[in-house]
Amino acid sequence: MRTQVVIIGGGPSGLLLGQLLHAHGIETVLLERRTRDYVLGRIRAGVLEAGFVGLLEEAGVAGRLHREGFRHAGTQIAFDGGMFHIDFEGLTGTPVVVYGQTEVTRDLYDAREKVGARTEFEVDHVEIHGADGDAPHVTYVQGGREHKIACDFIAGCDGFHGVSRQAIPLGVRREYEKIYPFGWLGILSETPPVHDELIYANSARGFALCSMRNEKLSRYYIQCALSDSPEDWSDTAFWQELKRRVPEEIAEKLVTGPSIEKSIAPLRSFVTEPMRWGRLFLCGDAAHIVPPTGAKGLNTAASDVHYLHTGLRAFYEASEHEGLDRYSEKALARIWKAERFSWWFSSLLHQYPDQSEFDLKMQQADIAFLRDNAAQQKAFAENYVGLPY
């Protein structure tokens, strides 16, 4: 079998890359370790930057997003018993859109199926061969049989635990990592959101976030110990703790109900350099991870897709190599800025086990400066809605 680009990983970054390439006549084969239903069962955030929405429009898959997504012109920061608003549209002219990652993935799978692009599910033992030469190929096992795909390029969109990053020799890649000393306990409930914007809360008891999927489905998070498990928290205990961490006016409005999903996510900042090795290109979580504070994970993957698909288009349409040659440089320049924002915003809102009284005072002063300073709010808004590609 032969194709132009093999995409390893059937999450939103791999699917979006495939759809954008298909729109310009570039053939792909996508390999996914799980089933489609399994991928669509993952619960993930869904705050989309304008740049991501633009890529979905370019790929021809933004119709349902525009019908069902929620346009957010700003966000709320809760602090010291009160709450203040940061006006994205007023400060930058740009909103974000709340639309679940599961729905993005569903739309992309439907679009890929509609155009007949090849997708292989339940593949195992994926191996990358010859990526540092002129004739790369990928082998995998499916249904007990080994398969081989020859290709021009390989896009590694298979996440942090995938094979793509590991295919780059240790002597070539360098990894940077920060592990945070807490996690996020999140629940999904069939209840109306407590507010029409996201609420990020700093409290003496720890961080909290009030978010939503739609007008009848809410997503809430609280900071918890890494040693906790979801079974340690009853629904009642979760709701009681959430109410303690948000302003009283919000706690009084909160509609509670049974959780339909409950999980704990650890927080990590991670970057690997470079994001290209020969004809292998890393994309999304295969190359970098951000803490969920500020919703940059899916959006940083989208920026990678932008740089990679434009580089591949220039190669196939005009025999230009610069876009591919500078892919890692361009992608990482933006990634490190997103990493900085996610790290800073996490530091602003969470309680750390080794914080001194001085550290807490500095954190409180930092939030007060954001509340009171228009220039700081503008910088925050520019980062939140997404830096330009």
The catalytic site residues sit at 72, 200, 292, 296, 384
Task: Using the Cα atoms of residue 162, residue 226, residue 348 and residue 234 in order, give the sign of their dihedral.
Answer: positive
**CA-closest candidate to residue 238, choices 265, 251, 220:** 220
d(CA 165, CA 82): 44
Task: For the chain, state the CA radius of gyration.
Answer: 21
Non-local (6+) Cβ contacts of 242 within 8 A are: 208, 210, 220, 222, 251, 254
Give the pairing type, strands 5-8 and 28-31: parallel
